[in-house]
Every structure is written in structure tokens, then in C-alpha cells.
Chain A
Amino acid sequence: MLRSIRLGGALALLAAAAAWPARATPLARALPQGAPAASPAIPRLLVYGGDLTIVEQIAPVGLAAGRNSVRLDFVRGNADVASLEVVPLDRPGEVKVAALFRRDDLGNTTFVELDAAKSGPERLRLRYAARGLAAGVAYSAAFDAASGTLDLLQDLEISNGSGESFAQADVRAVFGVVRTVPSTAVLHGRAPDPDPNAPPGLPTPPLVQDLAEHTVVPFGPPLALPDGVTVRRRALEKRALPTTLEWRWDAGAWGGRVWRVAKVANGPGSALGAITLQPGSLFLVEREAGATERFVRSGGLGPLVPGQELELDLGPTPELSVERTVVDLQRGDLVFGDYNKALVSYSETETVKLVLDNRAAAPRALTVIERVATPSFELAASSAPATRKDQVTLEWKVEVAAASKLELTYTVKKTNLHP
């Protein structure tokens, strides 16, 4: 008995709304493995990074007792038919998939051969990989300088360039790194020729650290997703998040200007609420007194895990400036070789003056970061306590009084230098 199903074509599937989780959930909970659970009446799209989408559809068929053949036609779209998986849902003990049969002259068409103990209706769950769909998150953040709060909005965007139109689809974006293997990788006789220049031994697969850390962001109620359409919906909206501000200066960052950093707590009980933020693009503005918004910067945000503080660079501020001057440099400790009297090593003593100018009407706690050109140095003198953050980085945390200047001077002795 032959049944025919067209996938990506005129397959009639009923739309139905379902209950939707409000936030991202771990993949293991979102997709229970094993026996099929409540079957969606509309196609479900799991959109991964790296041009991979898992399409899941339910197709009802009527089976006769004995061997049945169901013809699946992938008439459009970039479906990977080699990844097709067919699972009978209603009578798993009575209906078994005997084989998936394909012919070269019929292209992607697949015949599902089913053995049924009794005749009757049966629903088949079809799952296959497709290319051409993409999902991404975009953040827009607005820092309100007057209230010291941050609005953080997350939009989820899905773009369908697969060639296949979905009248209704349940779309979820999966964020994380998923390793895939081409379906022909271990097909004997079709494997690529071995690389004559390859190193000896078996190739080592790349190590991926966060395989267990996928998160799913549902797109919300089912949507129509025709081919060639991009749809964007709000996935997260957090208003008036309390922030703490810091001021930092590093000669090598932001063109040597003082910049502000807004920090938002993301622990349990915080306004952000210990959430996971998927990596995505960022559009950051600052709300000003005159009801205008100043564009600060674009860039990226995330990933952010629960408990990790959200940190946003708010760009340079004109209310603070640092003038850096190397005021002195002297050489000493010249060492000459015993045999040829040539110069072997020397030391340099360098004195740097930083004038921290606070033009604001309130005191500012400024973090000053300085990088010394060599790791072999010692801090000989400093007008304020310094912390050596790593081999070449010194850090000061100083408070500059309102509308005043503060002079920070330090001397480093660089040793064991070579001409």
C-alpha cells in the first residue's frame, strides 16, 4: 500500500497555539528524549547556529496490515534527506519502520517502509535537518544617566532563506555549540581521499567546552514563516535595572579617554533575575536630560550566565580626563662583560605623572590602569597604593574630589634590560 506525503509543499497541517515558556530553558528539559510526548500539530523548527535547523513534523497516514510504503517528497527547500528520522507515534509496538528507501532517479524522494500488525490510522513523526534558516538575538540597551538605571531589551530574529515556506511554525532558537558530522563521512566508498600531507595518527576532533550548556529561546506563539522573510520578536524586556557606575582610564583604550562602565547584578533576587543571555549584537544608547537619546556604541553582548555581573562600557565621558606625562627617565646599573667589556645589561628608572582632572560636581572613583613595557620591573615609588594585576599591569583606585585635580606620580625601575 503506497501513501504519499509532500514535505515543504502542499502538506496540510493544522495550526494550534500552545502554552509557551516565558524564558530560555536548558535543552535537556525542552526536548525530552525517549518516547514521544505531546506531538505538535504544526512543524517545529529548532534553529541552531552554523546553518543547521532541525525540522519536526507530524504526518497522519492510514496503514493496512502488513508492509506499507509511504512516499515522502521533499519538493522544496534545503532539506538534508540523509538525516531523516521517522518514528510511529500512536502504536509503537504494532507499527515498525522497516526501511528507508531511495532511488537515484527520484532525487530527495524517500520511501518509508512500515510493517503494521493491524490496519488503522497512524501518525508519523518526521525529523530532518535543513539549511537556510538562521536565528539571532539582538540587544538594545538604554542607560538613563539621571536615574542610574538601565533598560535591557532582547529581540529574537528568525530569517527564512531555506526555500521552504511554513504556513505556521513553532520556532525555537538554540544557542550553543553543536558538533555535526556530514552524513557521508563514514559512507564506505564515498569517503574523501586521504590527505597525503596529513600528519601521522588519527585526526583529533576539536575540543568544545560548553556542549552541555545549550539554551533554547522560544520565539513565542506560532508564526507564519514564508521563504524570504525575516521576523523579529521581543524575547526579554527588563526595565529600570539598577546599575552601579565605575570610571576607568587606560592609555590604550578609548583613545586615552576616561570611560564609564555600568554594572548590573545578575544573581538570585536581583532585578535581572539570574538569567542567561545568549551572545548577540548590541545597540547601546544613553538617555539624556533633554529627552534625547545619544547613540553610544554598537558591538556585542554575552554570553552571560546566571550569577555573572552584566558589564557594559558606556563610552568616554568628558567630565574626567587624565593627562599622562613621562617626566623622567634615567639609565643606570650598566654591566659590562668580563672578557670583551661590551655592554651586557642596564636598568632604567622611569617616573610618570598622571594628572586626574575631575570636572564633575561630585567625587569620582577612578580606576587607573598602566602597562609597563617589560615584565622585569619593580615599583620604586608611588603617591597612591598600587596593585600589580599581572606581570606588566599596575592598577590604582583613587577618588578624585569634585571639581578638582589630583596628581598621581609613580616611579618604576626596569631591570635587566639589554641594549
Chain B
Amino acid sequence: MSHHHRRSSARTASVAASVAASIAVALAGAFAPAAAAQAPVRPDGEGFVEVVVPTTPQGVTLRLTSDQPANVATTRAVSLAQGRNRLRFDWSRERIDEGSLRFEVAPANGTANVVQREKIHRRGAMTYFDVEAASDGPATLTTRYLLAGIGWRVAYTGLLDAAGATLSLVGTVEVSNRSGQELVDARVVFDGGEIAALSLAQGERREVELFRIDGIPLQRRYRSDPARHGGTPAIEIELANRAGTPLARPFLPAGRIRLLAPQEDGRPGLLGEDVLPATPLNSTAKLYVGHARDLVVERQVLHQGNENEQRDRWNKVVAYDHRTKLAWKLRNGGDTPATLLLVERPGVPFEVVGASHAASKTALDTVEVEVVLPPGGMLDASLEWLRRNLW
């Protein structure tokens, strides 16, 4: 009984000492700079040196992509003792993907290798890395992992010049942090840009300007597509991201673009908004920003009827051809020439059999007639197609 009592007392004393040591370490941690390298602590009897890793890393790099969690690389400075070191990381607050966790150690002197990594399930999100160091000294730890909760979006604002021929474009990026991790001077890299140092606490968002480019040439045309845009012609603006032009960005991420144009008083008014698709270098993006009120399109169906009907034994039509004739009356109320695309979708299959202007089959069920309208002028156009072997 007394023997048992002595063992129990010894255990109690050991626990008390351990708790006291923990409190001391916690207090020391609270008053010491979080990012400072900590001296190794040698616990008794475990055969390794436990190194308390600084909570706040010295360097953080986030690589963001459009459809994946942030790929994070953090670096920390620690002091390693010769022999087995156990490095403890606590990721209980961060939304990390533990399966993606990778770890590298680079000692200032000698060599060190990661022997194993251990997770003790009852201790929650604590992960332990065992490092075998050849000698005492400082080392840089790099941990890499996927972190959920970092959001980013790109937005563009474009201002057209008075003639509507060129564009001044401003690109911004907004980064939001709901990852549980506090970002301090983090380098943020994403497709098409980079922020050198970003500080963002949990629950914060920050918008940063990426670029501002003037004099970007653009093409403006109009599309009359009743099936997609209704009765009035839509404004289509084509933007080229091309080498050798002012806008020569390696990559323009997809994002909302707001186009402004000067009004009669010279102040910018809203022309319209669209989503700029992801646009790599040497490619173009088409934007649909609204409708033109100074172009009038009157569409008339002149003829629609069946031909060449095939009938079965009971005089029921089993196959036929179908012919359609359209005519347009077009007016341009503006004071500049306008290129207008008349878009029709006859269905599948079809063939163009006649047109007053250049007509091209741009897709399986789509035909486009291109008409250039003079300033303040009127024009007639027509189109005829035939659909064979329908049933």
C-alpha cells in the first residue's frame, strides 16, 4: 500500500512539474516575440529534443489558383540540437488539408533529415516532425500545405476615350481570408499577378490594384441576334491581349469588367458590365455590354414553306425540305459607320441559298450576315436558307 502510495505521489509530483513547466513555457511564449527562434527544450527520458516552433512564420507565400485551395509555403527559423529533434506544429485553427502537408528542413550548418512524421489522434491537430540533425545550430523549416478559405477575385474597370477607339483599363484583385490563419506580409501569387506583401487577418478582405494601362485598342461591333439579345442590336466589344500592344499581360484572370464611356458633359457614364473570360496572352475576349439605341433593325419573314414532301402509304408526310426567306430594313441613327452582324439560327441541318451581303455559316445552326451601315443611313438586306430532309 505504502509502495503504491509512493508511486502515486511521485506521479502526482511529476504531473505537477509538467503542468508548471507547461505554464512557464506558455507564459514565456506569451511574452516572447512570436516569430523568434526558440531554444530547444530537452525533456527527460524521451530520447529526443522537443523544439517549440514559432507560431508566426517568417515568410509566407500563397499560390492561388481559380479552382483549388491556396497552396501555402511557410518558412520558420528554429534552433536544432544535435540528434533527434521533435518539432511540434499546431494547426488547430487553420483550415489546412493534412494530406497535403509537406515539410523540409535546411540547417545552416551540417545536414538534417526528416525521419518521420507522427500524429497523435487524441491531441487533435498537433503534428510532430522528427528531425535528425548532425550538429547544433539554426535551421530554416519550410512547410507546404493546402489551405482552404482563401478567396480571391479580379475586377476590371475600363474607360473608353471620347471616340470609343481606345480603352484605359484598371485591374484589381480582392483577397479574402476565412482560413483561420493570420497573414502577415504574405507574398500572394495568382494566375496573372502577384502581391508582394499582404497582411490580412481572419475575416478580412483587401482589394489591391494590379495594373493600370492606357491606350488599349478595341473593336466595337453590333450583333442583332433575336434569339439571344431580343429585338435591339447588342454592343460587342473585342479586346485583344496581344504581345506588342499596350495590353500585353501574361494572363488576364476571369473577372467582372465594368466599361465606362464619356457622356455629353465629358463625365464618364456606365456603358455596361460583363464577365471578362480568362484571357491568356495572344488571345481575344468578346464583351457584351448592352444594347445600341441608335441602330434599328426591322426583321421580316417573307416566306416559310415545305417543299419536296415524301409521303408514305397512308399519305402521311415522312420527309420534306423547308425553305425560309428573310428581309431586314436597317437604320443607323449615329454619326459614325457601324458594323452590324445579323445572326440567325435556322436549326440543323441547313444551307444558305441566297443572301444580299456576305453570309457565313459560323456554327452548325448559325448563320451571320455582315453589313456595314453608313452614318445616318438606311439599308436593306436579305437571306434565304433551305433545310433538307427533315422529318
- Nearest chain A CB to B215 CB, angstrom units: 23
Is A98 located at the chain interface by the 8 A CB criterion? Answer: no
Indicate if A419 sits at the interface (CB-CB under 8 A): yes
A223 — nearest CB in chain B belongs to which residue?
A: B116
Q: When the two chains form their complex, are residues B71 and A357 in contact, meaning their CB atoms are under 8 A apart?
A: no
**Contacts A319-B280, A341-B311; is A140 near B102 (CB within 8 Å)?**
yes
Is A329 a contact of B348 with CB atoms below 8 Å?
A: yes
For residue B113, which residue of chain A has the nearest CB? A234
**What residues of B have a CB within 8 angstroms of the CB of A105 in the complex?**
none
- Interface pair A294/B65, CB less than 8 Å apart: yes
* Contact across chains for A293 and B144 when beta carbons are under 8 A apart: yes
Separation of A226 and B120 alpha carbons in the complex (Å):
9
> Does any Cβ of B come within 8 Å of A128's Cβ?
no
The answer to whether B318 touches A318, judged by C-beta atoms less than 8 angstroms apart, is: no
A248 to B251, CA, bound (A): 21
Q: Is B26 an interface residue (CB 8 A)?
A: no
Known: A329-B349, A341-B312. A318 touches B99 (CB 8 A): no
How far is it, in angstroms, between the C-alpha of A393 and the C-alpha of B280 when the chains are bound? 30
Partner of B389, one of A138, A226, A318, A346: A346
CA distance A326 to B361 in the complex (A): 10
Q: Does B283 contact A (CB under 8 A)?
A: yes
CB neighbours (8 Å) of A346 from chain B are 389
Residues 79-108 of chain B: 1 if any A CB is under 8 Å from the residue's CB, otherwise 0? 000000000000000000001101000000
Q: How many A-B contacts at CB < 8 Å in the complex?
A: 116
Q: Is B5 an interface residue (CB 8 A)?
A: no
A281 in complex: contacting residue of B65, B99, B189, B318, CB < 8 Å: B99
Contacts of A330 in B (CB 8 A): 349, 351, 388-389
Please count how many residues in chain B sit with their CB below 8 Å of the partner chain's CB atoms: 47
Majority-rule SS of A interface residues: strand
- Contact count band on A: 35 or more
With A330-B351, A341-B311 as contacts: A295 and B318 at CB distance below 8 Å = no
A110 CB–B CB distance under 8 Å: no
**B61 near A403: Cβ-Cβ < 8 Å:** no
Residues A321 and B118 in contact in the complex (CB < 8 Å), given A293-B73, A293-B144, A334-B389: no
- A295 touches which of B122, B146, B313, B389 (Cβ 8 Å): B146
Closest to B312 in A: A341
- CB neighbours of B61 from chain A (8 A): 292
Please, which residues of chain A bring their CB within 8 A of the CB of B200?
none
Provide the residues of chain A in CB contact with B388, threshold 8 Å.
330-331
CB distance from A55 to the nearest CB of B (A): 21
Which residues of A have CB within 8 Å of B121?
A: 228-230
CB distance from B187 to the nearest CB of A (A): 8
CA distance A343 to B319 in the complex (A): 8
Residues from 221 to 272 in A contacting B, C-beta threshold 8 Å: 223, 226, 228-234
B282-A359 in contact (CB<8A): yes
Q: List B contacts of A373 (CB < 8 A).
A: none
Interface flag for A4 (CB, 8 Å): no
Query: Whole-angstrom distance between the alpha carbons of A339 and B314 in the complex?
Result: 11
User: B358 in the interface, Cβ–Cβ < 8 Å?
Assistant: no
Q: Is B2 an interface residue (CB 8 A)?
A: no
CB of A328 within 8 A of CB of B146, answer no
Check A290 against B194 for contact (C-beta < 8 Å): yes
The reply to whether B99 and A138 contact each other, CB–CB distance below 8 Å, is yes
Q: Which residues of A contact B73 (CB under 8 A)?
A: 292-293
Cβ-based interface call for A336 (8 A): yes
Chain A contacts of B122 at CB under 8 A?
Answer: 228
Q: Is the CB of A285 within 8 A of B71?
A: yes
Contact of B363 among A231, A325, A419 (CB under 8 A): A325
B117 lies within 8 A of A295 (CB): no
**A327 at interface (Cβ–Cβ under 8 A)?**
yes
Chain B residues within 8 Å of A285, by CB: 71
Bound Cα distance A231, B69 (Å): 25
Is B278 among interface residues, defined by CB-CB distance under 8 A?
A: yes
| Chain A interfacial positions (CB closer than 8 Å to B) | 138, 140, 223, 226, 228-234, 281, 283, 285, 288, 290, 292-295, 297-298, 318-319, 321, 325-332, 334, 336, 339-343, 346, 348, 357, 359, 403, 419
